[in-house]
Amino acid sequence: MVDQPRGMTDLRADGAMGPGEAAAEGYGKVEGRTQKQIVWRRFKRHKLAIAGGLVLLLIYVAALATPVIAPYEYDESDFTAINQGPSADHPMGTDRLGRDELTRVLYGGRVSLVVGLGVGTFVTLIGGIVGLLSGYYGRRVDTALAGLMDFVLVLPFLPVLLVLGSIFQFSAFTITFVIALLLWPRMARIVRGQVLSIRNQDYVQAAKAIGVSDVRIAFRHVLPNVVGIMVVEATLVVAQAILIETAVSYLGLGIQPPTPSWGNMLEDSRTTMTTQWWLTWFPGLMIVLTALCVNFLGDGLRDALDPKAVE
Amino acid sequence: MTEAPNGRTEAAGATSSASSGEYLLETRGLKMHFPIKAGVLKRTVGHVKAVDGVDLQVRQGETLGLVGESGCGKSTLARLILRLLEPTAGEVVFEGENILGYDRKRMLRVRRDMQIIFQDPYASLNPRMTVGNIIAEPLKTHDIGGSSGERKRRVQELLEIVGLNPEHYNRYPHEFSGGQRQRIGVARAVALNPKLIICDEPVSALDVSIQAQVVNLLQDLQKEFGLTYVFIAHDLSVVKHISDRVAVMYLGKIAEISDRKGLYAEPRHPYTNALLSAIPVPDPEKERARRRVVLAGDVPSPANPPSGCNFHTRCPRVREYCKEHVPPLIPQEKNGGAEAGESPDHRASCFFPVLEGQRIDERAESTPYRVSER
């Protein structure tokens, strides 16, 4: 059948890579590269995703190390420096109680990131499992689970959050849990739809004809073909969760002051947006930056996980 | 490759086929009626009779061609035989045993002996699995081939058997052409050294030049491993090339079945006549002179098949009798009249078959053909 360009293969085997590397990619050495390596190679080509991933990593490291690197305490007031703009002492300025804005942005980030990552994980797990079951087994299971999804989907989002918030006093963990419980059905629906179409593909039929077990079919044949779409949806969910937490805190029912979150910091600065711009801009920028990075990362992952993606 | 691909001993194969009698595979009154659900309550308002009572016998080592228009139930029949669908009624008898009652474990054993090759080489291979993993999957599932190293060697051997480069082990399906992908599908099907392979239109989606390659590959494999094929197609020329016997399906039923020669030389069923007359002749002179039988109308809906003979709505020879009575598969006489004798192998489900020297649109004799004797 297709003949190998032997020369190229040999070149690559010698480790001599040059401008021809990209061309050799499709036809070159066949053995020796594991799945992980292949995915990683493709991911590396996605510059925006790399950048997004790095920035996100930086944000996460900063959040983890906040107690060490933060210059002040988040509730430490300095009444000699109220409402000051950015300066050497306070790189992001201070708020009306003389608290250091940089410190508060760092601490606020911890909340937002816990919520974002937490909701993303939860939603992917619940939505993925429910969608897989619902799509793969169909019939009664599907009817029951689809009913549940519809029920959660029609719940008005903000009112439910606000009511629960006024009853329970959200902490970072409870709000993560509640947002995840409200967000999973969309993931489940997407997965379910995808599974429904994959279930009838010939390769699944072929696996059945071979005698492959249901569980193995679900994990070897169905899941890998859904993963791309799940990753993208998960990153959207992460960004969305961060924004929802922000919104709820902005409305005063999320994370309660003095604990800062990007949301309640925005809310705090609402009235002073024109005069003390730094109080709005820094938490705002962080929200946008985080959400963007997560989305870029998702794009890159999706492409890297898809073997059909153009090299 | 003199050794059986999975190392199964010849003796074991011989004993099991000895007890199975004449046929490797038999279907008896096989029916698949898909329910049509409608309304909010999803009540069943009717059935699509995709396969409606099929009796088929497949002998060890032969190739049975199965032809028919799209939608006549060929592929459904294939899936029923493999139990990818559970039939509404009937039996699938493999090596003398009805496999429909088999539990998971026994079914798994049977699956080693019957495999399928699909039509669309783009849909039949998981895009996320490497070719090596795709071909190794049957070996893994049935725990054949020992260590992963041995299994890999076996997969590479299979790649070589189907004419692919064994070094392409780690590639993904999308890196191959349609014909190559179909070869991968073939490798997966023969990996377990099955006795029966159902080829569900294996070449219909391929280029004509590639079709020949794949058909030849299938024939070579048959010779080498003593495979039995049920070869589904709608291309009569391909079927003629590869088949020992041919069955023609129409609307979920067998219209005519015969050895290849009988069917192509002496088609008895009007539908078979119409199908054969549609094959173009690659000679312009003859092509111009060729008489074609053009059937009127479309295939009726299998949800609401015609009464009596299901072909009566389009049959040029239709009589009142046909509209009320369902024709069984009647053994047909060979050309040369009664002296030449009846051939039990040539059967057609028609009361007024097209006899020697008759034209299809000629009016049949007034009494239904031999019906009184049955």
CATH 3.40.50.300 maps onto chain B at 23-33+47-243
Q: pTM of the predicted model, to two decimals?
A: 0.76
pLDDT tens digits along A122-142: 999 999 999 998 888 877 888
Nearest Cα residue to B85 out of B125, B35, B135, B39: B35
Domains and CATH numbers, chain A: 1-31 (no CATH), 36-305 (1.10.3720.10)
Close Cβ partners of B87 (under 8 Å, ≥ 6 residues apart): B30, B31, B32, B51, B80, B100
Which pLDDT score, from 0 to 100, does residue A7 have? 37
CA dist B247 → A303, B9, B84, B234, B244 (Å): 47, 33, 22, 11, 10
d(CA B308, CA B146): 56
Provide, as residue numbers in chain B, all residues whose Cβ is less than 8 Å from the Cβ of A216: 141
Strand partners for B198? B116, B230
Task: Answer yes or no: are the C-beta atoms of B351 and B309 closer than 8 Å.
Answer: yes
Give the residue numbers in B contacting A (CB under 8 Å), as ranges. 79, 82, 84, 107-108, 111-112, 114-116, 118-120, 123-129, 137-138, 141-142, 163-165, 167-172, 174-175, 180, 183, 185, 188, 192
pLDDT tens digits along A141-178: 888 888 888 898 888 888 888 888 888 777 888 889 98
Chains A and B form CB pairs within 8 A to the count of 85
CA dist A77 → A63, A73, A74, A96, A111 (Å): 21, 9, 8, 9, 21
The residue in chain A having the minimum alpha-carbon distance to the alpha carbon of residue B165 is A1
Range of lowest pLDDT (A22-26, B202-206, B224-228): A22-26
Domain B23-33+47-243 grouped into CATH 3.40.50.300: yes
Range of lowest pLDDT (A143-152, B127-136, B212-221, B339-348): B339-348
- CB distance A30–B170 less than 8 Å? yes
Range of lowest pLDDT (A139-143, B156-160, B294-298): B294-298
The greatest distance separating any two alpha carbons of chain A, rounded to the nearest whole angstrom, comes to 81
* Look-up of token digits 């004419």: B163
Which pLDDT score, from 0 to 100, does residue B227 have? 93
> Which of B82, B169, B172 is nearest residue A209 as measured by Cβ atoms?
B82
Q: Is the pLDDT of residue B347 over 60?
A: yes
Per-residue pLDDT averaged across A46-54, rounded? 89
d(CA B277, CA B294): 8
Task: Answer yes or no: are the C-beta atoms of B302 and B318 closer than 8 Å.
Answer: no
> Which of B126, B168, B170 is nearest residue A203 as measured by Cβ atoms?
B126
This complex has an ipTM of 0.81
